[in-house]
Amino acid sequence: MMFRLNRRIRPFDSLISRLMLLGLCLVTIGIAARYYAISHFLREDLATVVEAQQLALATYVARDIDERIVHRRNLLERIGAALPPDLLRRPAALRAWLKEHYEFQPLFSAGLFVTDTRGVALADYPVLPDREHGDYADRDYIKDALAGRTTIGRPVMGRAAKEPVLPMAVPLLDGRGEVRGALVGITALATPGFLDLLQQSHIGKGTGGFLLVSPQDRLFVAASEPDMVFTPTPPSGVNALHDRAMAGYRGTGITVNAKGVEEVSAMVTVPSTGWFLVARLPSREAFATVARTQSFLLRNGVLAFMVFAALASTGMYVLLRPLSRAADHAERMTRGEIPLEPLPVVRQDEVGHLIGAFNRLLKKLDEQQAELARIAHHDSLTGLPNRALLADRLHQALARAQRTGSRVALLFMDLDGFKLINDSLGHEAGDDALRQVAQRLGKIVRQSDTLARVGGDEFVLLLCDLGEDAEAAAGIVAQKCIETLLPPFTVADIPCAIGVSIGIATGSGDTAAGALLQAADRGMYRAKKAGRGRYVACPV
């Protein structure tokens, strides 16, 4: 239903259009509120049920996996207790003994083998060409067993089996209780009756499944998706619920996985290994009822919107037609009386509030632009000027030196020992060391000078307004820089030594900025070659 509007009034400027729009907005808000409330309630209710189901399923599967592992560990302990110590000196007889026990209870699909106290394999069964006489002293389970402890090793790619395996080992004791060797049982993860069912099982319509995770190794031990088996877990920050599980959380939650798919997950510990099992189901499948309900609400909402629009437009046409005619008459009476200049806002109503908000937004944009300009000229780690700002200040200093007849000096500094800290303690420790270096150097810099960070561990100090003894003055400052870095730095609670090699170049107003910087750089390299922890002046 359309109204006759004066040609000077645009449709959305008219009172009729605004009232119509207001009514439609109210209806839309009501539909949206109903849509959200019902969807939210139904999703929360279903989430409680689905999470409980996932937790029960994960608990059952985790308990089953734990029982299988504990059963193998107990069996290995019984076999180790029954192994005669004198067989350790007779490999052939030892292999026959292993064969007899392996064939009686073949739970260790990848075989059994025995090592001596050095971790060298004495005999195995089934016989694998790369296992006998192999040195396994570096394996965690061998170390624990030779130390007298029964242990379940971390899942590894078997050297001899050439597939993902779970090793476990028990110590072999003689009559005096001394360790004579280690008995190792190896189970392939995909062996029938072990983790093969987990890797073949899916939840729901095939899109959900299981993950078996070793948090200490940050490894997916087994998974319903074959391409995830024996792959590293995602880094921190990718999946918030996974990060909590890696930190020890056990329970349920809704999260977005590394592939960007929202899913309902339940985490349960496998006690014998420290692993945890994840049962996961995509939210689109878990909350399929919610999606169908939302579709129903949308269809009915659109119908209600159309009915209201038809009734409201008819009602406003009948009620507001006289007001529209009065507005046309008033417009004709006042035509030409509106000033050309913008009308001021005299009331602090919604329009005044909008204008005020817009003005505040402009002010905020100006502040952000100033902050961006600051970031573009300063190092984000230390807050010092960067190479761009240094170049600008160097040109200004040379121009001032040209006018006043003074001299400038550049100290090009490269840290000694920083790479060792960065490589051994990590990048965060290296960043902390750089910040501490910047703080110490900043305490000896005049307000008129510029200390900048121009590279990883490279700093440049610009000295301005120097006299004819510029090189001597720069040498004094360089020695102060060396001395201020002599006390040890505390990085990651560890005292560390950081030195500095400095190249010095001086120039006047006629000196090119690039030549001055290159000369200081050459001086730094000469200081490095001369033994570090010193300064060398280099002519331009």
Retrieve residue 72's tokens.
């193998």
Closest CA to 146 of 185, 184, 180: 180
Cα 138 from chain centroid?
32
* Average of per-residue pLDDT across 24-47: 84
Specify the pLDDT at position 319: 59
Q: Which percentage of the chain shows pLDDT scores above 70?
A: 87
User: How many residues are there in the chain?
Assistant: 540
Retrieve residue 74's tokens.
């107990």
Specify the pLDDT at position 11: 58
Closest CA to 433 of 424, 423, 421: 421
CATH level 3 topology of 83-188: Beta-Lactamase (3.30.450)
Q: Cβ of 98: how many Cβ atoms within 10 Å? A: 23
Q: Which percentage of the chain shows pLDDT scores above 90?
A: 46
Please confirm, yes or no, whether 457 is among the known catalytic residues. Answer: yes
Cα–Cα distance measured from residue 526 to residue 521, given in angstroms and rounded to the nearest whole number: 9
Q: Hey, which bits of 311-454 come out as E strands?
A: 407-416, 450-453
3-state helix, strand, coil in the chain (%, to 5): 50, 20, 30
Confidence of residue 101 (pLDDT cuts 50, 70, 90): confident
Retrieve residue 12's tokens.
């959305």
pLDDT exceeds 60 at position 417:
yes
Cα–Cα distance measured from residue 414 to residue 399, given in angstroms and rounded to the nearest whole number: 27
Which one of the listed residues 124, 379, 457, 521 is annotated catalytic?
Answer: 457
**Could you report the per-residue pLDDT of 155-195, keeping only the tens digit for each?**
988 776 678 899 999 999 988 889 999 999 999 888 888 88
Retrieve residue 38's tokens.
């019902």
Cα–Cα distance measured from residue 276 to residue 293, given in angstroms and rounded to the nearest whole number: 35
Confidence of residue 24 (pLDDT cuts 50, 70, 90): confident
Residues 6 or more apart in contact with residue 180 via CB below 8 angstroms? 85, 88, 116, 117, 172, 173, 174
pLDDT exceeds 70 at position 345:
no
* Burial zone of 285 (CB within 10 Å; 0-12 exposed, 13-18 middle, 19+ buried): middle
Cα–Cα distance measured from residue 248 to residue 240, given in angstroms and rounded to the nearest whole number: 13
Cis peptide before 234 (omega within 30 of 0): no
pLDDT exceeds 50 at position 312:
yes
Retrieve residue 148's tokens.
């007298």
Cα–Cα distance measured from residue 427 to residue 240, given in angstroms and rounded to the nearest whole number: 23
Specify the pLDDT at position 9: 54
Specify the pLDDT at position 321: 60
Q: Cβ of 7: how many Cβ atoms within 10 Å? A: 7
The mean of the pLDDT values for the chain is 84
Q: Cβ of 265: how many Cβ atoms within 10 Å? A: 24
Residue with the two structure tokens 């948090």: 215
Q: Where are the domains of the chain?
A: 83-188, 347-375, 387-537
Strand partners, 506: 409
Q: How far lies 124's CA from each of 83, 158, 167, 212, 483, in Å?
A: 13, 14, 14, 29, 64
Contact of 57 with 288, CB cutoff 8 Å = no
Cα–Cα distance measured from residue 324 to residue 285, given in angstroms and rounded to the nearest whole number: 54
User: Which has the minimum average pLDDT: 351-360, 460-469, 480-489, 505-514?
Assistant: 351-360
Strand partners, 385: 378
Confidence of residue 205 (pLDDT cuts 50, 70, 90): confident
| CATH architecture observed for domain 387-537 | 2-Layer Sandwich (3.30)
With b for 16 or more beta-carbon neighbours within 10 A and e for fewer, the 115-154 pattern comes to bbeebebbbbbbebeebbebebeebebbbbbbeeebbbbb
* Burial zone of 495 (CB within 10 Å; 0-12 exposed, 13-18 middle, 19+ buried): exposed
Confidence of residue 348 (pLDDT cuts 50, 70, 90): low
pLDDT exceeds 90 at position 385:
yes
pLDDT exceeds 90 at position 202:
no
Helix (H) / strand (E) containing 19: helix 15-82
Cα–Cα distance measured from residue 164 to residue 157, given in angstroms and rounded to the nearest whole number: 4
Query: Three-class SS of residue 110?
Result: coil
**Amino acid, single-letter form, for residue 496:** C
Cα–Cα distance measured from residue 205 to residue 228, given in angstroms and rounded to the nearest whole number: 19
Residues 6 or more apart in contact with residue 135 via CB below 8 angstroms? 118, 119, 120, 121
Identical fold, 83-188 and 387-537: no
Retrieve residue 409's tokens.
């000096």
